[in-house]
Amino acid sequence: MDIQFQQLDQVDPQDIIALMNNPLVRRQIPLTFDDFNLQDCQKFVHAKTQMWQEHGYGPWAFVVDSEFAAWGGLQPEFGMPDLALVLHPKYWGIGKTLTVQIIEKAFTEMNFDQVTVLFPPMRTRVKGLLKLGFKQLDERVVDDKTFIRYVLLKQDWNFPRD
């Protein structure tokens, strides 16, 4: 399996729109639009590109075997790099692989000391996060939605070998 990290503006907007409007994806992320259209996509890609320009990091598009599979990466949230990952259901099985690659980049190439993850309370399956070393930190509100924040410290990161 060939996984490439690309900039979001290199992806066909229709692929991003299809992902963001997928009903299975929408159930997982509470901060979605009612109908994610081309104008929303352009604003979204622009905002994510601005993160790279302002902070030196941001989300990528993940292309698997030449097909857009997900967007995600690190975004500044509450003064810390926060890991986000939005996968097409066809690729849900590679979530851990992408997460590990993002964390490796965060702690090696980007030299961050910690990474956070914001999970909505409805997402109760957090065993995978905990196995990676994340610990529950606190609750945060984003756009009137409550999230549980988990943190992974660089010194607690053990690259999973399985």
Task: Give me the residue spans of the domains in the chain.
Answer: 3-112
How many Cβ atoms sit within 10 Å of the Cβ of residue 29? 14
Instruction: Give tens-digit pLDDT for 72-98.
Output: 999 999 889 999 999 999 999 999 999
Q: Are 115 and 108 within 8 A, CB to CB?
A: no
Q: How confident is the model at residue 145 (pLDDT cuts 50, 70, 90)?
A: confident
Instruction: Give tens-digit pLDDT for 98-110.
Output: 999 999 999 999 9
pTM as predicted: 0.89
Bridge partners of 139, per DSSP, are 148
The yes or no reply on domain 3-112 and CATH 3.20.20.370 is: no
Distances (CA, A) of 77 to 80, 92, 156: 5, 24, 21
Looking at the chain, how many residues does it have? 162
DSSP 93-148: GGHHHHHHHHHHHHHTTS--SEEEEEE-TT----HHHHHHT-EEEEEEEETTEEEE
- The helix (H) or strand (E) run that includes residue 26 is helix 23-26
Q: Are 64 and 19 within 8 A, CB to CB?
A: no
